Amino acid sequence: MMGKVVIMDHPLLQHKIGIMRMKETSTKDFRDLVNEVAMLIYYEASRDLPLADKEIETPICKTTVKEIAGKKLCVVPILRAGIGLCDGILRMNPNAKVGHIGLFRDEKTLEPHEYFCKLPHDAAERDIFVVDPMLATGGSAIAAIDMLKKRGIYRNRFLCLIAAPEGLEALRKAHPDVDIYIGAMDEHLNENGYIVPGLGDAGDRIFGTK
């Protein structure tokens, strides 16, 4: 089945992403905002998680409430910048497992290079949320989902803060089955493969490495 593409338009999100784009925003504020924005996007990305009935007792009477069925979730950040989104998402689903995929983009060719992969042993049974702040050429997201599928893991969603049209198109073409959640859709990529207007290098801004 064809996956969906959701581009968030909530005012809170737009406001927070606007602050993240400002070059004078501090590392601390940027990091806090990445988590807040991730949480807000995850709110939408988790909308169709299945629910199950649970019998409980309130102080007044017995009743039936809902709980997320199975609780078989897994967040997979693409290192390094994807780490920045994890706390926000885990605050919503503290029992989710976390896998890690290490990819870096060659500055010249823009090709992704794999350097790490560690996933929960039962990842194939879980709903996977691959997370990365930026979807630029799409190379990293495509490679990450290739790595998952190669390991028999197919229940994948992708969540990012900012996307370029080029990256979205490439990801849709490579993995049409994956639902994609985007905080903001930008204009284009520049000659260095950076998103315009974007927010610069997400990893450097989260970790203060520049």
Minimum CB distance to ligand URA smaller for 36 or for 201: 201
Indicate the burial class of 137 (C-beta count within 10 angstroms; 0-12, 13-18, 19 or more): buried
Regarding 37 and contact with ligand URA (CB under 6 A), the answer is no
150-169 residues in contact with ligand URA (CB under 6 A) are none
Q: Is 106 a catalytic residue?
A: no
Hey, what's the torsion of the CAs at 191, 147, 50, 44, to 10 degrees? -10
Site string for ligand URA, 169-208 (x = CB under 6 A): -------------------------xx--x--xxx-----
> Where do the H-state alpha helices sit in 55-193?
83-92, 139-150, 165-174
Site membership for ligand PRP, residue 168 (CB under 6 A): no
Two tokens, residue 29: 């504020």
Whole-angstrom distance, CA of residue 34 vs CA of residue 26:
12
167 near ligand PRP, rule: CB under 6 A: yes
Six-digit token string for 41: 């996007």
Q: Which does 138 bind (CB under 5 to 8 A by kind): ligand URA, ligand PRP, none?
A: ligand PRP
Interface residues with ligand URA (CB under 6 A)?
A: 134, 136, 194-195, 198, 201-203
